[in-house]
Amino acid sequence: MKKSIKSLTLMLVSGFVLINFSYCSSKAKGENVTEEKSVVMDAQPVEEENAGVIHLTSETFRDQVFDYVNSKEWNYKGDKPAILDFYADWCRPCKMLAPHLEAIQKEYKGEVQIYKINTDENREVAGAFGIQSLPTIVFVPKEGQPQAVMGYRPQADLESIITEVLKVEKPE
């Protein structure tokens, strides 16, 4: 009896993993999968940047972060270090990461700006950066080259990277 329950549990878990993998693969390939579509806000005006995380479109990304269309050499347009969160609404690790990024935006009190880019709705930006795994988090110092990490990271890890790469200490 115990063996059959273990077998059944293993089959159910395996089935869930396969279904989830198929769903994610279908979404990554752009196949039609029924789900609700969220609305992405355009970038907020510059004077409100400290208020929270900013959602960017391809156009606002070129205006506020980097004009990848007209320049092949990295030239960050921002006036403070930034974190670029390449995500998709269907991505579970992306959903787990979002609260950490929102908390960081508040805790760092305007010392770092977090931008979110929905890769399903802004494929041009994702393609320009070669995004192939979600979430991809790009740490952009004021000067120097950006550095990326892929996958979910706990908030403590993100804060360590902010200190090391962005050279920003958490305000007291």
Signed CA dihedral, 120, 75, 63, 78: sign only: positive
What pLDDT sits at residue 76? 96
- Other beta carbons within 10 Å of 9: 10
Confidence of residue 51 (pLDDT cuts 50, 70, 90): low
CA dist 83 → 4, 7, 73, 94, 163 (Å): 48, 44, 19, 14, 12
pLDDT (average), residues 34-49: 38
How many C-alpha atoms does 43 have within 13 Å on its Cβ side?
A: 19
**Fold for the domain defined by 46-166:** Glutaredoxin (3.40.30)
Choice among 43, 53, 83, 94 that is catalytic:
94
Domain ranges of the chain: 46-166
CA dist 8 → 3, 4, 17, 19, 85 (Å): 9, 6, 14, 16, 38
Q: Which of 37-41, 92-96, 105-109, 154-158 has the lowest mean pLDDT?
A: 37-41
Task: Give the tens place of pLDDT for each residue, 112-166.
Answer: 999 999 999 999 999 999 999 999 999 999 999 999 999 999 999 999 999 999 9
Task: Give the tens place of pLDDT for each residue, 74-86.
Answer: 999 999 999 999 9
For the range 146-153, what are the long-range contacts, defined as Cβ-Cβ under 8 Å and sequence gap of 24 or more?
Answer: 146/74, 146/76, 146/84, 151/93, 152/93, 152/96, 152/97, 153/97, 153/100
Does 24 participate in catalysis according to the annotation? Answer: no
Tokens of 116: 């979110």
Does 91 participate in catalysis according to the annotation? Answer: yes
Query: Which element (helix H / strand E) includes 135?
Result: none
Confidence of residue 172 (pLDDT cuts 50, 70, 90): confident
pLDDT (average), residues 41-58: 64
Higher pLDDT, 150 or 49: 150
Choice among 54, 82, 88, 91 that is catalytic:
91
Task: Give the tens place of pLDDT for each residue, 22-41.
Answer: 333 334 444 443 333 333 33
Q: By CB neighbour count within 10 A (0-12 exposed, 13-18 middle, 19+ buried), where does 98 fall?
A: middle
For residue 114, the SS3 value is strand
pTM for the whole structure = 0.71
Asked if 137 contacts 148 with a C-beta cutoff of 8 angstroms, the reply is yes
